[in-house]
Amino acid sequence: MNTRRRSITNRLETWNYLISLYGNRCVYCHDNYATQIDHVVPYSYCYANDIENLRPSCAYCNILASDATFFDFEEKYNYVADMRAKSQSGRRMLLCSVCMIPYYSALHPSALFCPVCWAKEYRKDVPAPKQWRDWLGKLSMAGIEHRAYMDLAEYIYNTKSHNVPKLRKLELLAEFTAEYDK
């Protein structure tokens, strides 16, 4: 119990520290708000959790980088920039306006709401096509805790406060993500 609480506190402290160092925008695209703690070199390396290896990033850039391995930040930064340029001509990545989970327009027709928030917004059943479930699997593989986004959606709809400011959403997301830390 104590250990768990400590790990949650640590994760939030790390998050707040990174934001104080790098700001709350993604270090790769400098555009989207950061929603994840990115490991520059993969988790599996022994120094993966050293603070110098961690950066705030958006889920989009995290996914773009998820297929490759890097040895330093610069290498990863250039790779992500390349991938972003390529993907701009192809499928468009959207961010749900409520829970901020990333998705492709091909996965869901709404440009504002992810399937979960769309269902809540319009009081419908959650559409769960296979592509959406595959997508959530891909997010998990990229180290993106999609349950935390679902918790955020839940929170926002339960408190009926759609207008939670973006920065507060980011804080909540960091808190919910910490809850799923092993």
C-alpha span between 27 and 43 (Å, rounded): 18
Nearer to Zn ion, 22 or 45 (CB): 22
> According to the binding rule CB under 5 A, does residue 29 interact with Zn ion?
yes
Let me know: does 59 contact 140? Beta carbons within 8 Å: no
**Cβ count near 3 (within 10 Å):** 7
Nearer to Zn ion, 8 or 81 (CB): 81
DSSP annotation of 32? S
> According to the binding rule CB under 5 A, does residue 170 interact with Zn ion?
no
Burial of 133 (0-12, 13-18, 19+ CB in 10 A): exposed
Give the CA radius of gyration of the chain: 16
> According to the binding rule CB under 5 A, does residue 96 interact with Zn ion?
yes
> According to the binding rule CB under 5 A, does residue 34 interact with Zn ion?
no
By rule CB under 5 A, what count of residues binds Zn ion? 12
Considering only the stretches 7-15, 39-47, 55-63, 155-163, report the one whose residues sit in contact with Zn ion under the rule CB under 5 A. 55-63
Interface contacts to Zn ion, rule CB under 5 A: 26, 28-29, 32, 58, 61, 96, 98-99, 114, 117, 153
